[in-house]
């Protein structure tokens, strides 16, 4: 039934936030990712958390839900599986009774687990004996009605559900307790071990029963206690069969047991601090059993076990997700990266060369219009002799080449690497993919800009003084022609002889023409430079706008998405005072305290 419920949740899950991106990547890989996480949409996975959980946990679960939704097409593999399981368990547990606390009784073969189970029940309900393993299936003991849904979730059949011996103050204090006797975790039967693992993932708390002979068993510590160290607040470790030890020996074994738990990273609830409870009992003689019942009564009446267990699960999921969301540096698109990208595109499109070409065209046009006709005739002759053609486009400089594709690709690679530096691998890959997708068609678009805005043959505007300069050059030319005609007239006798006046007129035209041209050359330097700079600026701005729309904006969108999930991850991590939340490593993910202890032992 639990599997069916999870399968329905998987089928209802919809990313919603990034469905467009998911639609762009069909195929078996995306179908596999669609099943990862085992979560449903916001309404199904996390129904309104009105009364089941407190505000801090509700906020963390909502953030975890958003985190999974934002990450579905970015994060692949099993990274989201634990988070999806936690969301499923949160929704499933909330729909069930909040007045009951489900505690599993787990232990190794011969630890006296079933005997302790009967002692807490006050009546023999679990089979005990020398045959091993004695317990072959989970057996449930409920002190009150209304726990059927919880037991269905644990897949405990009706024939294995019991009630304790009626009567006594202990029954009243334990109202709401559901105690589940599990098969031996070290059973030779694989099915028994599988049942233990399955139930431990679903219960609110666990009582580990150990005996003086197996309390240091590596299988117990490495397979269960160390991985569950982050769940110390919902963990009891009971040293059973102390009747076989003296008082001094019991104290020594308890001290050694606490030492082992501390090495496992499990915080101990000593001196009023939250953490695991360690207790010595003898289920056979009843020593310590009343104290255990009293501890369980306070634990159950607190009605916080399920929330504490779920909070520890969220902690473990957050630790496992940390490499996916926490970056080493401060990645992003700062002004330096943007400007460098724009400069590289400007170089690729030839913006500076286009500006210089425009400046030359402006100056050449001014000089051509204001120059002497004889010099223009000479230049025309030189062009014909050099090229055999009068095509004006042959004067276009060689700098107006179209965009170099390799330079554009290099600029895109650099900006993608700079933007993704320090990002976790999935998000760095998403940034690079966004840059590569945006770069498709970018060289062609830049080529169009280079043709439309970088054409140096375009007709530049003329300054206001240009007509006056042209008129002055015309006057100088007319003076030369007039002086020449005057001399010719004198030679043929049409005009009175007088050499000096026509010569002076001709000299004025001959000298004045180059002077006007020289003055124009000096006057056009500033306007030509400004015209070239304006042409370069227009091409740079158009290139920057094209690069921003195609590459920088998609990259910035991916970085914004990462910042969103990073904020959600920070909410998921939360700030909790319990030291047990910082302990442990293993199947449920290493926590910070466990990591520190491991590093210390390595040194």
Question: Going from the N-terminus, what domains does the chain have, and what CATH number goes with each?
Answer: 2-90 (no CATH), 99-302 (3.40.50.300), 335-573 (no CATH)
- Give residue for tokens 């002497």: 372
Beta-sheet pairing, 277-280 with 177-181: unpaired
The answer to whether 394 and 434 are in contact (CB under 8 A) is: no
Q: What are phi and psi of 463, to 5 degrees?
A: -75, 170
Q: Within 10 Å of residue 465's Cβ, how many Cβ atoms?
A: 14
List the 139-142 sheet strands across, edge first: 161-162, 139-142, 177-181, 101-107, 205-210, 235-239, 277-280
Measure the CA–CA gap between 539 and 535, rounded to whole angstroms.
6
* DSSP reduced 3-state for 204: coil
Measure the CA–CA gap between 579 and 549, rounded to whole angstroms.
48
The overall pTM is greater than 0.85 = no
Q: What is the pLDDT of residue 282?
A: 92
Q: What are phi and psi of 85, to 5 degrees?
A: -65, -40
- Give residue for tokens 């919902």: 234
Distance of CA 563 to the CA centre of its chain: 7
| HSE toward the beta carbon, residue 453, CA cutoff 13 A | 25
- Give residue for tokens 């053609």: 389
Which two structure tokens, joined as six digits, stand for 148?
A: 């059927």
Nearest CA among 447, 254, 278, 433 for reference residue 354 = 447
The answer to whether 54 and 304 are in contact (CB under 8 A) is: no
Angle between helical axes of 553-573 and 405-420 (0-180°, round to 10): 10
- Residues in CB range of 178: below 8 A, 6 or more apart: 100, 101, 102, 103, 140, 141, 142, 143, 147, 150, 151
Task: Give me the average pLDDT of each 10-residue run along the chain (603 residues).
Answer: 44 34 37 37 41 79 87 76 88 88 91 87 64 68 89 89 66 87 87 90 93 90 91 93 89 93 88 85 91 92 89 90 80 83 82 74 68 68 63 43 71 87 86 87 78 62 68 77 79 76 78 74 72 80 86 89 87 60 34 34 33
Q: What is the pLDDT of residues 78-134, one digit of tens each?
A: 778 888 889 988 888 888 888 899 999 999 888 888 889 888 887 776 655 444 445
Bond into 133 cis (ω within 30): yes
**Would you say the C-alpha torsion 333, 338, 340, 342 has a positive or negative sign?**
positive
The answer to whether 288 and 281 are in contact (CB under 8 A) is: yes
Q: What is the pLDDT of residue 255?
A: 93
Q: What is the pLDDT of residue 13?
A: 34
User: 298-319 burial by CB neighbour count: b if 16+ within 10 A, else e?
Assistant: ebbeeebbbbbbbbbbbbbbbb
The answer to whether 535 and 354 are in contact (CB under 8 A) is: yes
Q: What are phi and psi of 141, to 5 degrees?
A: -130, 115
Q: What is the pLDDT of residues 550-570, one digit of tens each?
A: 888 999 998 888 888 888 888
Q: What is the pLDDT of residue 429?
A: 87
Which two structure tokens, joined as six digits, stand for 524?
A: 């056009």
Give me the DSSP letters along 419-473. Answer: HHTTS-HHHHHHHHHHHHHHHTTHHHHHHHHHHHH--TTS-PPPPTTHHHHHHHH
Give me the DSSP letters along 338-387. Answer: HHHHHHHHHHHHTHHHHHHHHHHHHHHHHHHHHS-HHHHHHHHHHHHHHH
Q: Within 10 Å of residue 231's Cβ, how many Cβ atoms?
A: 27
Q: What is the pLDDT of residue 198?
A: 92
The answer to whether 104 and 200 are in contact (CB under 8 A) is: yes
Q: What are phi and psi of 409, to 5 degrees?
A: -60, -40
The answer to whether 106 and 208 are in contact (CB under 8 A) is: yes
Q: Within 10 Å of residue 22's Cβ, how many Cβ atoms?
A: 17
SS3 content of the chain, % helix, strand, coil (to 5): 60, 5, 30
Q: Within 10 Å of residue 47's Cβ, how many Cβ atoms?
A: 14
């Amino acid at each position: 039934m639990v599997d069916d419920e999870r399968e329905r949740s998987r089928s209802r899950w919809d990313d919603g936030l990034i469905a467009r991106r998911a639609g762009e990547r069909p195929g078996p890989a995306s179908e596999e990712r669609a099943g990862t996480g085992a979560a449903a949409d916001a309404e199904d996975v996390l129904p309104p958390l009105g009364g089941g959980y407190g505000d801090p946990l509700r906020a963390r679960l909502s953030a975890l839900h958003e985190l999974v939704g934002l990450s579905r097409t970015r994060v692949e593999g099993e990274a989201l599986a634990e988070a999806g399981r936690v969301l499923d368990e949160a929704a499933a547990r909330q729909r069930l009774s909040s007045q009951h606390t489900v505690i599993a009784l787990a232990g190794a073969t011969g630890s006296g687990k079933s005997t302790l189970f009967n002692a807490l029940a006050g009546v023999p309900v679990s089979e005990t004996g020398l045959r091993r393993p004695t317990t072959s299936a989970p057996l449930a003991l409920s002190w009150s009605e209304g726990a059927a849904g919880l037991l269905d979730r644990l897949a405990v059949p009706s024939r294995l559900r019991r009630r304790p011996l009626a009567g006594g103050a202990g029954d009243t204090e334990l109202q709401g307790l559901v105690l589940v006797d599990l098969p031996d975790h070290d059973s030779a039967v694989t099915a028994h071990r599988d049942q233990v693992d399955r139930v431990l993932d679903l219960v609110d708390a666990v009582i580990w029963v150990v005996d003086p002979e197996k309390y240091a068993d590596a299988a117990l510590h490495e397979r269960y206690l160390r991985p569950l160290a982050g769940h110390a607040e919902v963990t009891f470790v009971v040293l059973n069969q102390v009747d076989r030890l003296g008082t001094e020996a019991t104290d020594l074994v308890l001290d050694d047991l606490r030492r082992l738990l501390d090495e496992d990273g499990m915080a101990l609830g000593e001196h009023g601090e939250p953490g695991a409870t360690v207790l010595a009992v003898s289920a056979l003689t009843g020593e310590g059993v009343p104290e255990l019942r009293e501890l369980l009564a306070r634990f159950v009446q607190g009605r916080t076990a399920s929330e504490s267990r779920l909070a520890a699960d969220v902690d473990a999921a957050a630790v496992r997700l940390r490499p996916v969301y926490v970056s080493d540096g401060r990645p992003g698109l700062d002004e330096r990266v943007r400007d460098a990208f724009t400069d590289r595109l400007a170089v690729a499109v030839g913006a500076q060369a286009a500006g210089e070409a425009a400046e030359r065209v402006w100056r050449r046009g001014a000089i051509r219009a204001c120059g002497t006709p004889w010099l223009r005739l000479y230049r025309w002759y030189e062009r014909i002799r050099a090229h055999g053609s009068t095509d004006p486009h042959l004067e276009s400089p060689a700098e107006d080449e179209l965009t170099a594709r390799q330079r554009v690709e290099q600029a895109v690679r650099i900006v993608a690497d700079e933007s993704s530096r320090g990002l976790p691998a999935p998000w760095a890959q998403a940034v690079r993919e966004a840059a590569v997708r945006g770069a498709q068609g970018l060289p062609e678009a830049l080529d169009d800009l280079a043709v439309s805005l970088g054409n140096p043959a375009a007709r530049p505007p003329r300054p206001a003084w240009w007509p006056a300069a042209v008129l002055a050059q015309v006057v100088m030319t007319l003076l030369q022609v007039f002086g020449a005609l005057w001399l010719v007239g004198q030679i043929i006798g049409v005009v009175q002889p007088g050499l000096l006046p026509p010569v002076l007129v001709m000299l004025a035209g001959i000298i004045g023409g180059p002077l006007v041209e020289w003055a124009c050359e000096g006057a056009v330097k500033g306007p030509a430079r400004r015209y070239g700079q304006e042409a370069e600026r227009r091409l740079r701005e158009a290139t920057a706008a094209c690069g921003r729309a195609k590459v920088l904006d998609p990259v910035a969108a991916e970085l914004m998405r990462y910042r969103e999930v990073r904020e959600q991850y920070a909410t998921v991590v939360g700030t909790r005072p319990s030291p047990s939340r910082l302990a442990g490593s293993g199947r449920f993910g290493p926590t910070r305290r466990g990591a520190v202890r491991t590093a210390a032992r390595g040194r």
